[in-house]
Amino acid sequence: MERVKEESSYLLESNRKGPKQDRTAEGQALSEARKHLKEETQLRLDVEKELELQISMRQEMELAMKMLEKDVCEKQDALVSLRQQLDDLRALKHELAFKLQSSDLGVKQKSELNSRLEEKTNQMAATIKQLEQSEKDLVKQAKTLNSAANKLIPKHH
């Protein structure tokens, strides 16, 4: 850009000193230089806008990735808790089943309780399966987003 300004100054100075024909040629060269400067400036502005857009998209993707990672962690924590509850329920079920075998008193109540516990166990097992599938889907979505981010915006070293 500095070179173009120097050329423009030189051309203006030589226009004052040289013959008319030289001034016309120099005027055309000056006009071409100005046109070239304008094109280069516009190109630079376009590139800067594109860079800003890519930076913004990258920031949005990084935020989405962090949110997905947080969601995955929360789901994993919920799965751990539900698995522990399921184990506790299974232990209680086995304990109640053993007590039921050793006692004839309250057989009907214990049987109903055992059935309810079995139903709860099945419900919790189904819930765990749903959460595991949801976790798999989130991980797959996170990988897809990460892959898309890497394709869109290559990391600079």
pLDDT confidence band for 66 (50 / 70 / 90): very high
User: What pLDDT band is residue 25 in, cutting at 50, 70 and 90?
Assistant: confident
User: Could you tell me the pLDDT band of residue 31, with boundaries at 50, 70 and 90?
Assistant: very high
Does the pLDDT of residue 103 top 70, yes or no? yes
Query: What pLDDT sits at residue 151?
Result: 86
Helix (H) or strand (E) holding 72: helix 20-102
**Residue 79 · residue 135 · CB < 8 Å:** yes
CA-angle at 29, arms to 25 and 32, nearest 5°: 140
